[in-house]
Structure 1
Amino acid sequence: MTFEKRLSKLFQLDDTTWMRHANPLSVWTRYSVLPFIILACWSRETLGTWSAFLVMLSVLWMFLNPLIFSKPKSTKNWASKSVLGERIYLNRDKLEIPLHHRTKLYHLLHLLSLLGVGICIYAIIYYSVWAALLGIALTYLSKSWFLDRMVWLYEDMKESDEKFKSWEY
C-alpha cells in the first residue's frame, strides 16, 4: 500500500468523499490551511494558549474540507481533474499507469513541498515573514505542479477504465 493511500484512509476518503473533494471549492480552499496555521502560531505570544486552539481549528479544517462540500456540478475543470488523477495515482501499486507517469518527479515535488513546510516551521519559530512567504510559495508551487501532473494522469487514464471515465461529467 502506498504512503498516499494510507494518508487517504486517514482522511477517510471513499467514493462519495472523493467526489466531494473533487469540488473545486474544496481544492482551492485547502490552500488556506498553511497560512492559517502560520498566523495562528505567530499569535502565540499575543493570544497565549488560544493560538493552539486556532492551530487545532486549522487542522480540523484540513480534515473536514474534503467532507463538507457537495459533489461538483461538473468535473470538467482543472481542480476536479487534479483530485481524480490523485485518486488514480494512489492506486498505482495495483494499476498500470503509463510509463511517462512513473517518474521521480512526483517524489521530488513531494520533497520540495516538505522543504517548504520546513521553511515555514523556521518562519514560525523565528517570526520571519520572508521565510513564511518563501515556505508557502515553495510548498504551494510544488503542490500545484504535482496536481497539474495529476490532471495529466487523469486525462491519460480516463479512457482506460469505464469507472474513471464516469468520474468526468
Structure 2
Amino acid sequence: MGMTPDVWERHVNPWSGWTRITLLPLLCLSVWSRVWIGWWALGLVALVILWGLFNPRVFPKPERTDNWMSQGVTGERIWLERSSNPALAHHVAVVKWLTRLSGAGAMVMIVGLALLNLPLTVSGMVTAMIGKLWLLDRMVWVSRDMARLSEEPDGGR
C-alpha cells in the first residue's frame, strides 16, 4: 500500500483504524449488491477498494496515541519491520494462528458471496473480522513489548 513514514503516522489516528473495520462488511455488501444492481456492483467494489487505499492517508496525525487502536496500528508497523526480532519471538505462533483464522474466515466468506449464501457469507466475515481484531489486540501487545524494551537500560538484551 505504499505506507511511507508519514502515511503510518496518519494511519495511527484511531479514526483511520476504526473506519477501516468497515471495509469487510462494505466489501461483502458491494459484492452482494450484484443481485440488485448487476454489473454496477463493480463500481461499489472499486469504491470500497479505493477507501481501503486512501483511508490511511485522509486522517490527520493524531494528537494522542495512548489508545488501543493507535497502539494496535503501531504494533502492526513494528511487526512488519521487526517480526524477526528475538524479543518478539513469543508472538510468532499466535500471529500465524490468527492470520490463518482470518484467512479461513475470508475463504468461507468468498464462497458464501459466490453462492449468495447469507449464513456462509456472514459467518466467514465475522470469523475473519474476529481474527483481525484479535490480531490487532496482539499488535497492541507487540507495541507495548517494544516500548518496554526500549525503556530498559540495556535495550532489552
TM-score, scaled to structure 1: 0.83
Deviation, structure 1 residue 100: 2.1
Choose from 32, 38, 41 the match for 1:48.
38
Bigger shift: residues 109-118 or 43-52? 43-52
Distance in 2 between the 1:33 and 1:154 partners? Answer: 24
- Long gaps (5+) in structure 1: 1-10, 163-169
- 2:94 pairs with 1:144: no
Aligned to 1:111: 100
Deviation, structure 1 residue 14: 1.5
Aligned to 1:158: 147
Change (3 A) 1:133 1:23: same
Matched position secondary structure for 2:22: helix
Identity percentage over the alignment?
A: 38
- 2:81 pairs with 1:91: yes
Aligned to 1:129: 118
- 2:34 pairs with 1:36: no
Distance in 2 between the 1:18 and 1:127 partners? Answer: 36
What letter is aligned with 2:66? K
TM-score, scaled to structure 2: 0.89
What letter is aligned with 2:9? M
What letter is aligned with 1:125? A
Distance in 2 between the 1:27 and 1:145 partners? Answer: 14
Alignment RMSD: 1.6
Choose from 46, 61, 70 the match for 1:80.
70
Q: How many residues align?
A: 151
- Long gaps (5+) in structure 2: 152-157
